[in-house]
Amino acid sequence: MTQTKPNVELSPDRIKLPFTFDVAQLQAEVQQISKNAFVYYKVIQLRAPAFMVDTSIPQPPPVGDFADGSWTDWLDTPDLINSPYLSSVIDTFRQHTKVTLVRLLRLAPGAVVKEHTDPTLGLEIPKSVIRLTIPIFSADNVEFFLNDTVVPMQVGECWYLRLTDPHRVVNPGPGERVNLTIDMIPNAWVKSLILGD
């Protein structure tokens, strides 16, 4: 991992954070993990609710608000435990704040994610988490639109995106797109990282 100064010229709905991760190491570990099937809608969970990782842990009672992740304990899955470099990427943030959900999200060649919003994934939302995105496999023609403009994410970079705003993704192919997403509690350290205070 290397650190650079944040790109302050970008609009506030997207912030390129001052981290760059080793693409070759990320890709090697993701290729090893992806020998297992992606599940759900092309997702591999790397950190998940504790009761889903360890079935001896009882499921927490129902709650009215799932937004901030406090409704459950969170555990690393075996895929993350067996991936030392991915674990070190998560530790970059885990040493400063609580990391909740961590996933690998795959978008197949020719696939589209329709425009939508994620109402609880913005720094300005009280009692919530924010999501950081690190592209691992991508191509120049993969387009992530946020507020109808393309976010120029490159593999190995780390981005905060205000996902409460409309966003969509297009992967014309031929290759797949795989992003690492890391959800975390936006404490003072996280807010300073994003806002540059």
Q: What is the pLDDT of residues 90-115, one digit of tens each?
A: 999 999 999 999 999 999 889 999 99
pLDDT tens digit string along 46-90? 999 999 999 999 998 888 777 888 889 999 999 999 999 999 999
- Please report which confidence band the pLDDT of residue 35 belongs to, taking 50, 70 and 90 as the band edges: low
Homologous superfamily, domain 14-56+67-195: B-lactam Antibiotic, Isopenicillin N Synthase; Chain (2.60.120.330)
| Tally of CB atoms within 10 A around 76 | 20
Beta strand segments in 55-176, E: 74-76, 99-107, 112-116, 130-137, 143-146, 149-150, 157-161, 167-170
38 or 176, which is more confident? 176
pLDDT in tens, 127-168: 889 999 999 999 889 999 999 999 999 999 999 999 999 999
Per-domain residue ranges of the chain: 14-56+67-195
Q: Which residues contact 35 (CB under 8 A, 6 or more apart)?
A: none
Residue 130 token pair = 């924010």
Q: What is the pLDDT of residue 197?
A: 66
Q: What is the spatial distance between Cα 123 and Cα 100, in angstroms, rounded to a whole number?
A: 15
Helices and strands in the chain: count of H runs, count of E runs: 5, 11
Q: Is the dihedral of CA 89, 91, 92, 94 positive or negative?
A: positive
